[in-house]
């Protein structure tokens, strides 16, 4: 079972520990799901691998870059603008979701500028 679990380096572990506090089952260092009368330490806060299924499904997607780095190691890409890791929605994806909207506006402005320039170039010359 340990062979299939994604392993984290120290930086990823620190980011995951910060996310553990966002979990709805986290209660002052203890896990409510594992509580059977005695308080039980949250497994995800002390482990260097993704042990908790609830954390993997519900909490880890809050940090998209960390999620892409841990869960989608083979299918992730780097953003062409900012360099952040992301999971593309198609095989043509170049930009992370944050940069995609910005680049879409920039490309549309360039396209419209070229279109206007070509349109005005066809007008007959009127000497003054």
> What Rg value do the Cα atoms of the chain yield, rounded?
24
* Amino acid 108: pLDDT: 97
pLDDT in tens, 92-127: 889 998 999 999 999 999 999 998 888 776 666 666
**128 residues of the chain, pLDDT tens digit each:** 445 777 888 888 888 888 888 888 888 888 888 877 778 888 888 888 888 888 888 888 888 888 877 877 667 788 999 988 888 888 888 999 899 999 999 999 999 999 888 877 666 666 65
Q: How far apart are CA 44 and CA 101, in angstroms?
A: 34
| Model pTM score | 0.54
Pick from 13, 42, 44: which is nearest to 29 by CA?
Answer: 42
Average of per-residue pLDDT values in the chain: 83
């Amino acid at each position: 079972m340990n062979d299939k679990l994604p392993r984290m380096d120290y930086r990823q572990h620190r980011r995951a520990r910060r996310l553990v506090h966002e979990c709805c089952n986290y209660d002052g260092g203890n896990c409510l799901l594992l509580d059977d009368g005695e308080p039980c330490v949250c497994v995800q806060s002390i482990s260097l691998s993704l042990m908790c299924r609830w954390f993997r499904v519900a909490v880890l997607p809050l940090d998209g870059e960390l999620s892409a780095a841990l869960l989608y190691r083979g299918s992730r890409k780097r953003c062409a603008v900012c360099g952040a890791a992301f999971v593309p929605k198609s095989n043509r994806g170049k930009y992370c979701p944050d940069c995609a909207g910005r680049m879409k506006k920039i490309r549309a402005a360039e396209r419209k500028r070229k279109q206007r320039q070509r349109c005005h170039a066809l007008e007959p010359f009127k000497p003054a």
